[in-house]
């Protein structure tokens, strides 16, 4: 799609595919307070034509929506170029290709939600069982994985993943 664009001299376009998946579990005193699992994503599109930027975004990823998003960003850039006072440029020296994936002994995406729930429940229960003076216990599990693919008209093709994984517990005792 990017190769077919008519951007003119110094023109540039990129497409950034973004996906964020998250799991959040909270148990308190043996009861589930929160159990959520979400996946959100979309695509951001930029075009630089005759020194002016145009932007677009799409939630649905298909050839048709990407073509429409690219056309929209290019049209916006062309319209803006008529009024641009300081033309913008992109340095083409930093074209990259590569992949940076998260590395795990056990990938959390391969563990079912049910197993994560059971693990968090058991952790919260173990906090309560430390001492009979425990009046309140809570356990939280948070998992967030962000993936991004960047493709550009200059040949950039980069995929990255990042993540946050946290298991925490709290206990309040009484005398």
Per-residue pLDDT of the chain (175 residues; tens, 9 = 90+): 887 888 888 889 999 999 999 999 999 999 999 999 999 999 999 999 999 999 999 998 999 999 999 999 999 999 999 998 888 988 777 668 899 999 999 999 999 999 999 999 999 999 999 999 999 999 999 999 999 999 999 889 999 999 999 999 999 998 8
C-alpha 174/C-alpha 126 separation (Å) is 17
Place of tokens 């056990």: 106
11 and 153 in contact (C-beta within 8 Å)? yes
pTM, two decimal places? 0.79
- Residue 89: what pLDDT? 87
- Residue 9: what pLDDT? 83
- Residue 4: what pLDDT? 82
53 and 80 in contact (C-beta within 8 Å)? yes
69 and 60 in contact (C-beta within 8 Å)? no
- Residue 54: what pLDDT? 95
- Rounded to 5 degrees, φ, ψ at 2 are -65, -35
- Residue 10: what pLDDT? 82
C-alpha 100/C-alpha 159 separation (Å) is 6
171 and 136 in contact (C-beta within 8 Å)? yes
């Amino acid at each position: 799609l990017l190769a077919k664009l008519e951007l003119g001299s110094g023109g540039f376009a990129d497409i950034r595919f973004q996906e964020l998946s998250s799991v959040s579990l909270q148990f308190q005193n043996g009861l589930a307070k929160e159990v959520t699992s979400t996946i959100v994503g979309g695509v951001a599109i930029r075009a630089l034509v005759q020194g002016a930027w145009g932007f677009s975004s799409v939630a649905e990823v298909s050839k048709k929506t990407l073509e429409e998003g690219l056309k929209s960003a290019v049209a916006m850039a062309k319209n803006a170029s008529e009024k641009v006072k300081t033309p913008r440029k992109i340095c083409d020296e930093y074209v990259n290709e590569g992949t940076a994936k998260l590395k795990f002994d056990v990938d959390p995406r391969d563990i079912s939600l049910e197993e994560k729930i059971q693990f968090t429940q058991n952790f919260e229960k173990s906090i309560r069982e430390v001492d009979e003076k425990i009046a309140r216990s809570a356990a939280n599990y948070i998992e967030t994985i962000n993936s991004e693919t960047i493709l550009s008209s200059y040949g950039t093709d980069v995929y990255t993943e990042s993540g946050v994984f946290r298991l925490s517990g709290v206990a309040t005792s009484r005398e």
